[in-house]
Every structure is written in structure tokens, then in C-alpha cells.
């Protein structure tokens, strides 16, 4: 009996110890999850578009070959400063000079033919025909008078029938000759009209050819048209050039423009007058500023991208940016100064409604927010939060309204 009682007491003691252990375990609370907490402050926040572009001169003068020939002389060096009227290079124009001399001679001949045609024919021919006509008319008039006189004398038997008949025969011949000369004069006038049209056409063609050859001859001497920089000189003495080949490019490079390739989704944010920042790998640490000018209205293919081609003006006062170089471009599309800023990682989205979790006294509460300007790391808060509020940045952790949390880094 005593052994049984002792065994019961032992069991009761074991059960009591187990109960105590369970109560202790239940009484120990697990600590809330640790979440990064950030206090809101005011900052300047800006939204930008980053892309690439190509430097272009503004109002450049590009000299191109107007006829196939060889480069006779190069008198400048690419990249040097040039002044208006300075000799850059000359082309061999000996063939053009020969063609010009021949065409000028052809023009003189064409002008002579035109004058002759307008006068009715060659001066000697016209003069001879007019002389022959005058003589023929005089002969007809004289024979007609003689015929009348002889017929009167025949009536008074002062002249013979043979005399009258001979004069009549001579008169017919004279009249026939006169008619032939008049027909020849009429034909000459008709031919002269046709000749005049043809001669005038040849004169116009010769004059146009002379103007073209004179332009080509003038283009053989390339001089600077600006006070600026000779940024392109792709030819050398002795090179053969074809029609249209670039000979030299000149411009005032104190102001240049950038052709920026903006990806299609960013087109809606573009507007004239936005600030542009340009950097160039060849000059690290340097930055040039400018502004957007001509906003594109269409999208064009550019390699594997669909882009809008945006034109921007850039100040290049030190002449460091060179035409046709590839640069990186950042366009400031929106900016808000002294804005209340929240980290991107704190913002959640619920079917278009943005919200954050505000931390207070160990608990997070959901607050709906309205956001403004954004960049890669932050949002501008327009409403829903106040300066000094502490918000959770849950990262990969799922939070819910009313959840207990503790700031990361606190024990």
C-alpha cells in the first residue's frame, strides 16, 4: 500500500512538472518580425529619361564634289579653326576650263545665228535678195511703161508689131523673175522663223551650260563660308573624287545640337524647353547642358529599337563636342524641389491604389497615398503622409494592416 502511494505521488509530480513546462513555453512570446523602417524627409526629386544621341553641327556648310576629278591641293587640317574666305582645298578643273571655253564659243555662234534668223536670214543673202527684188521691180516697171508707149506708137504706125511683141516677151520674163524672187523671199522668211526658234533654243542651252560649268569651276576652289571649325576633311592631295563626295565640313561649333534617340514608351514625357545633360566617354567627368527643342511626332526604327528622334541644343563653348560623336544624354522631364519623399520599396499597389505601411508604437497601419514625380529610388508624396512619418520598407516580407513589427537592427 505504501509503495502504491509512493508511485502515485511520483506520477503526480511528473505531470505537474510537465504542466509547468507547458505553461512556461506558452508564456514565452515570439518576438515580432524585424522590418526596415525609414523616416520621411523632404528632398529634391527629379524624373529623367536616359538615352544616347549623336552630336550634329547647327547650320553646317558641307562642300561636295560637283564633277569627277582629282584633288590638286589641300591647304588646311581637319579640326583647325578657320575664317570666312580661307582656302581649304582645290580640285583639278582643267577639263572644266576647256569645256567652258568651247561652250562660250558655241554661244557666240548661236547668238549670231539667232540674230541672222530674226533678220530674215544671213545678211549677205538678205542684201542680195533685196537688191535682186529691187532690180526686178524696176525692170518690170520699165517694161510696162515701154509696152504702153509702144502700143501707142503702133497705133500711129510709129512702131512695129515686132517691137511690141519683143517688149511683151521681155515683160513676161521680168514678171516671172519678180514672182520667183518674191516666192524666194517668202520662203526665206518662213525658214528664218524656224531657224530663229532653233537658234534661240541653242542660245538658252549654251547659256545654261556656261552657268553650270562656271559653278563647277567655282566649286573647284573650296573656301570656308564661316568663322568656325573645319570639323571634317576626308580627302587628301591626289585623291580621286566622284560627284557628290564630301570634300569638307565647316560650322560654328560654339552651339551644337544633339539628335537623341528616345524610346517609344518615353515619348509622352517630352516637351520643348526641358533641361538636357550630355556626357561623352572620351571626356569623362565633363558635362554639357542644353534644352530640348523640336519634339518628335513619329517613331522610326533605329537598330533593334523603335525610337523618336529628339533635337536638343547644347552649349559647346569650349568646342569640345565634335560632330558625329556618340554621347549619353539625360533629359530632365519633371522636377519637384523640397518634396516629401518616400522610398520606392515602401510603396505597394492595390489595383491602382498606391499605399504604404506607417509604423507607430510597434504596429504598421496601411495609408493610401497619392504620388507625383518619381525616379529610380523614390516617389514624391502629394498626399497621405506627413514629414516625420516612419514607413516600413518590407522588401520581400508580406505585411498586413495592424501587424506587429520591430525596426530592423533593434533587439
At residue 294, φ and ψ (nearest 5 deg) are -90, 110
Beta strands in 275-352 (DSSP E): 275-279, 288-294, 300-302, 305-315, 326-343, 348-350
- Taking a C-beta distance cutoff of 8 angstroms, is the pair 403, 52 a contact? no
What contacts 24+ positions apart, CB below 8 Å, involve 181-190? 181/129, 181/132, 181/133, 181/136, 182/133, 184/129, 185/129, 185/133, 188/120, 188/121, 188/125, 188/126, 188/129, 189/120
Question: What are the residue ranges spanned by the domains of the chain?
Answer: 34-43+337-407, 50-62+252-336, 63-91+221-251, 93-219
- Taking a C-beta distance cutoff of 8 angstroms, is the pair 110, 203 a contact? yes
CATH number of 63-91+221-251: 2.40.50.100
For the record, the C-alpha cell of 380 comes out as 514624391
- The C-alpha R_g of the chain, in whole angstroms, comes to 52
Element housing 113 (H / E) = helix 94-118
Per-residue pLDDT of the chain (411 residues; tens, 9 = 90+): 455 565 666 666 665 555 545 444 444 567 889 899 999 999 998 889 999 999 999 989 999 999 999 999 999 999 999 999 999 999 999 999 999 999 999 999 888 888 877 766 566 666 676 777 788 788 788 888 887 888 888 788 878 888 888 888 887 887 888 787 666 766 666 666 667 788 888 889 999 999 999 999 999 999 999 999 999 999 999 999 999 999 999 999 998 999 999 998 888 889 999 999 999 999 999 999 999 998 888 888 888 888 989 999 999 989 899 899 999 999 998 888 999 999 999 999 999 999 999 999 999 999 999 999 888 889 999 999 999 999 999 888 889 999 999 998 765
Q: Give me the CATH topology for the region 34-43+337-407.
A: 2.40.420
Q: Give me the CATH topology for the region 50-62+252-336.
A: Elongation Factor Tu (Ef-tu); domain 3 (2.40.30)
- The reply to whether domains 34-43+337-407 and 50-62+252-336 share a CATH topology is no
Amino acid at each position: 500500500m505504501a509503495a502504491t502511494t509512493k508511485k502515485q505521488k511520483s506520477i503526480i509530480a511528473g505531470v505537474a512538472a510537465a504542466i509547468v513546462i507547458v505553461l512556461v513555453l506558452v508564456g514565452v512570446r515570439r518576438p515580432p518580425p524585424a522590418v526596415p523602417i525609414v523616416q520621411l524627409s523632404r528632398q529634391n526629386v527629379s524624373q529623367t529619361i536616359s538615352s544616347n544621341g549623336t552630336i550634329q553641327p547647327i547650320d553646317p556648310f558641307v562642300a561636295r564634289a560637283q564633277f569627277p576629278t582629282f584633288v590638286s591641293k589641300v591647304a588646311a587640317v581637319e579640326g583647325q579653326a578657320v575664317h570666312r574666305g580661307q582656302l581649304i582645298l582645290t580640285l583639278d578643273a582643267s577639263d572644266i576650263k576647256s569645256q567652258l571655253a568651247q561652250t562660250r564659243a558655241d554661244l557666240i555662234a548661236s547668238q549670231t545665228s539667232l540674230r541672222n534668223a530674226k533678220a530674215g536670214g544671213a545678211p549677205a543673202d538678205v542684201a542680195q535678195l533685196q537688191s535682186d527684188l529691187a532690180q526686178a521691180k524696176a525692170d518690170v516697171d520699165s517694161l510696162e511703161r515701154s509696152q504702153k508707149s509702144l502700143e501707142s506708137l503702133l497705133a500711129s504706125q510709129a512702131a512695129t508689131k515686132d517691137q511690141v511683141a519683143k517688149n511683151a516677151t521681155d515683160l513676161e520674163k521680168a514678171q516671172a523673175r519678180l514672182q520667183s524672187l518674191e516666192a524666194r523671199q517668202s520662203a526665206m522668211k518662213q525658214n528664218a522663223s524656224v531657224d530663229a526658234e532653233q537658234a534661240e533654243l541653242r542660245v538658252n542651252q549654251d547659256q545654261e551650260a556656261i552657268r553650270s560649268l562656271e559653278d563647277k569651276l567655282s566649286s573647284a576652289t573650296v573656301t570656308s563660308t564661316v568663322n568656325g571649325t573645319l570639323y571634317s576633311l576626308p580627302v587628301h592631295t591626289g585623291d580621286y573624287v566622284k560627284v557628290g563626295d564630301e570634300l569638307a565640313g565647316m560650322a560654328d561649333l560654339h552651339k551644337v545640337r544633339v539628335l537623341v534617340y528616345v524610346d517609344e514608351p518615353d515619348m509622352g514625357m517630352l516637351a520643348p524647353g526641358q533641361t538636357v545633360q550630355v556626357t561623352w566617354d572620351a571626356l569623362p567627368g565633363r558635362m554639357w547642358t542644353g534644352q530640348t527643342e523640336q519634339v518628335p511626332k513619329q517613331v522610326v526604327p533605329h537598330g533593334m529599337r523603335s525610337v523618336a528622334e529628339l533635337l536638343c541644343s547644347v552649349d559647346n563653348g569650349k568646342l569640345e563636342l565634335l560632330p558625329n560623336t556618340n554621347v549619353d544624354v539625360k533629359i530632365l522631364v519633371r522636377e519637384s524641389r523640397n518634396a516629401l519623399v518616400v522610398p520606392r520599396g515602401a510603396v505597394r499597389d492595390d489595383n491602382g491604389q498606391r499605399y504604404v505601411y506607417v509604423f507607430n508604437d510597434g504596429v504598421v497601419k496601411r495609408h493610401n497615398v497619392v504620388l507625383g514625380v518619381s525616379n529610380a529610388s523614390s516617389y514624391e508624396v502629394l498626399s497621405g503622409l506627413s514629414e516625420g512619418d516612419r514607413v516600413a520598407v518590407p522588401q520581400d516580407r508580406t505585411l498586413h494592416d495592424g501587424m506587429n513589427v520591430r525596426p530592423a537592427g533593434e533587439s
